[in-house]
Structure 1
Amino acid sequence: MTDTALILGGTRFIGRHTVEEFLDAGYEVTVFNRGNHENPFADHDDVAHFEGDRTEEGKLRLAAERVDPDVVIDCVAYHPKDVRVATDVFADVDAYVYISSGASYGAERVPKREDETPLCECTAEQATDDSAESYGPRKAEGDRAVFAAAEDGVNAMAVRPPVVYGPHDYTERFDYWVDRVDNHDEVVVPGDGTNLWHLVYAGDVASGLRVVAEEGEAGEAYNVGDGHAPTRGEWVDLLADALDTEVEVAYAGPNELAAADLELTDFPLYREYPHLLETAKIRRLGWEPTPHDETLAATVEEHRESDRTGRENGPSREAEERVLGVLETL
């Protein structure tokens, strides 16, 4: 008998890759969402669609009854209440996996480890907030909801990715860098190029979700991340290789950036303190990350086919050229 997977979300970025991962693994898949975005699986006979708002408990219970899933992957739980309700509604499934975040860690450590690094605290106000500032606390509280559900006998687990990149990335944070390298001979990189922000390929998040659903332990959280964590300067070089081009990297510190009224943090994916997740725990389940030559080939190909540029996520080219002009005088 074929296993069934219910994907809460499932038509945009991580959810889209997750649907494909479970289909490839032989599951029958149902996507649960509001239908507000184009469904890439609308013509796919093996993907059913259940329309509803995941914040409405009645809709979730109806989906649980009609779909009767073996596995539930929760791509769109952004508030702790979402997780508490879902783990109650789907208490009897074989596996409920919540997509948490590396942002749930509340202490700066290198690397961040699931069973050692403290999580963010979450106030009552943060738990119902929608701001970027409360994202990490909300995700951490969702983790604690998973742990509590597991103590009550639910086979609930969490997967913590850092920033995700890959095909269909509507955030366009990574697209900014692909666009820069693809269209210009010289690119400004903030700082000295050693800034480190661990990323993870979307397809590897999806495979991690499946592996955790099949092999993970209730009440556990698992980090996922690329096998190698390049510095910002390395990412530009890797992209140049993937785009089959050459690019000169111009490193600019705070003084040079000030000439264009820019700061280091104006560039997407810049983080002052290194962010690195330990992934040994999920690897012990049999999960392996995809090499960068493969992840970037797929990312670049889809980027060029899309209309995304990411340019609004970072400095304008005009501002970048002002910085380049300053650097040339030094």
Structure 2
Amino acid sequence: MRVLYIGGTGIISSACVEESVRQGQEVFLLNRGSSKKYLPPPGVTVITGDVKGDQAELKAVLAAHGPFDAVADFITFTPEDLESRLALVEGIAEQFVFVSSASCYQKPPKHYLITEETPLENPHWQYSRDKIACEAILAGQSKLAYTTVRPSLTYGHANLPLVLNSWLHPWTVVERMLTGKPVIVPGDGTSLWTNTWNGDFAKGFSSLLGRPDTYGEAFHITSDEVLCWNQLFQTVADALGVKPDFVHVPSDFCMGLYPDWEGTLIGDKVNSVVLDNSKIKRFVPGYKAEVLWAEGVQRSLAWFREDPSRQTVDAEVNARQDAVIAAFRR
């Protein structure tokens, strides 16, 4: 089976590329070749190109390497992106796999248990609304067979996903814990959440490629381990061997100082959600996420400690944490 990944060097997509190779798929990557954090495994064909560049030229390059049984797109975020991508792969792909987001599910949720049939409605985050619009476009077209996958918060060695941490510099909150600085935990920390190891997600994702029985279907793929944010933060502190200074701050208070936090807070992570993985388990028998949060934290911390140059800190996130905590403690 021949699979093209558009992107393929991010936290999620790099793990999917590795899993596709492990499953014996013939893998191609289309990207700008600028990322050095995740290098493709041996045997992968890298096509260097910019999806925002000359479309006719890029389509000719892809056609020369195609056709493909599946094209998995990890870098489409807006309806405009999607329209361009569909035109790019039309005629050279049997299946288009759109990577959406579990943040598209109804916020606030009317029921804590989330299935793929939960309504897509998020008034609090433009990112999610754009993904929802993309899903609507796919459902309304008939030129390409498609499958939709909605990851929730998924991480790997180079990431430590704690709410209000820095995505690009995840060592930021770790450094705060290590140096005794206070750390924000939104709300009372008891809302339920799931973090998923990227290799576990990849086992489900790559097993959906090239399968006509998945056409027109949507899936989320997560761990079955459900923890509250207090537990998620405390696990990191325990792994570091520190006694943390956690400050529970209402989301509304945080957003009063930084309105752009609305999406990541009430549009996503402070809602109690439990994602039901029954559907992916029906389509991929034997699917099971095996890496628990405590183990994933240890893996991530080990990766950062291997090379101190990876331990970068986001000055803006630090300043925001300090400002919110100072205002809240007045």
TM-score by length of 2: 0.76
**Does the CA contact (< 8 Å) of 2:169 and 2:312 recur in 1?**
no
1:167 is matched with: 157
Does structure 1 residue 145 correspond to structure 2 residue 140? Answer: no
Cα 1:19–1:95 change in 2 (3 A) is: same
**Structure 1 residues 7-86: aligned runs within 5 Å:** 7-38=5-36, 40-41=38-39, 45-55=42-52, 56-58=54-56, 59-86=58-85
Cα 1:232–1:311 change in 2 (3 A) is: farther
Q: Hey, what's the Cα distance between the residues in 1 that align with 2:82 and 2:262?
A: 33
1:312 is matched with: 316
The letter for the 2-side match of 1:143 is: E
Cα 1:166–1:291 change in 2 (3 A) is: same
2:204 is matched with: 208
Q: Which runs of 5+ in 2 are unaligned?
A: 160-165
Shift of 1:100: 0.4
Q: Hey, what's the Cα distance between the residues in 2 that align with 1:269 and 1:184?
A: 25
Deviations 1:164-194 (A, max 9, x none): 3222348237544433334438644333221
Cα 1:182–1:90 change in 2 (3 A) is: farther
Q: Hey, what's the Cα distance between the residues in 2 that align with 1:175 and 1:251?
A: 19
**Structure 1 residues 79-228: aligned runs within 5 Å:** 79-88=78-87, 89-90=89-90, 93-109=93-109, 110-119=112-121, 133-149=125-141, 152=142, 154-169=144-159, 171-172=167-168, 174-184=170-180, 187-213=183-209, 217-228=214-225
State the SS of the aligned residue for 1:7. strand
Cα 1:158–1:279 change in 2 (3 A) is: same
The letter for the 1-side match of 2:304 is: H
Shift of 1:276: 4.2
Shift of 1:319: 4.8
Q: Hey, what's the Cα distance between the residues in 2 that align with 1:173 and 1:240?
A: 18
The letter for the 1-side match of 2:198 is: A
**Does the CA contact (< 8 Å) of 2:68 and 2:92 recur in 1?**
no
Cα 1:276–1:72 change in 2 (3 A) is: same
**Does the CA contact (< 8 Å) of 2:157 and 2:303 recur in 1?**
yes
Cα 1:178–1:105 change in 2 (3 A) is: same
Deviations 1:131-177 (A, max 9, x none): x953212111221233334xx37431011112332223482375444
State the SS of the aligned residue for 2:28. strand
Q: CA RMSD in A?
A: 3.6
Cα 1:308–1:263 change in 2 (3 A) is: same
> Number of paired residues?
307
Q: Hey, what's the Cα distance between the residues in 2 that align with 1:175 and 1:268?
A: 22
Does structure 1 residue 234 correspond to structure 2 residue 231? Answer: yes
The letter for the 1-side match of 2:82 is: V
Q: Hey, what's the Cα distance between the residues in 1 that align with 2:315 and 2:261?
A: 12
State the SS of the aligned residue for 2:214. coil
Shift of 1:219: 0.7
Q: Hey, what's the Cα distance between the residues in 1 that align with 2:103 and 2:152?
A: 7
State the SS of the aligned residue for 2:236. helix
The letter for the 2-side match of 1:161 is: P
**Does the CA contact (< 8 Å) of 2:12 and 2:155 recur in 1?**
no
Q: Hey, what's the Cα distance between the residues in 2 that align with 1:284 and 1:94?
A: 23
Q: Hey, what's the Cα distance between the residues in 1 that align with 2:108 and 2:80?
A: 26
State the SS of the aligned residue for 1:212. coil
State the SS of the aligned residue for 1:93. coil
State the SS of the aligned residue for 1:308. coil
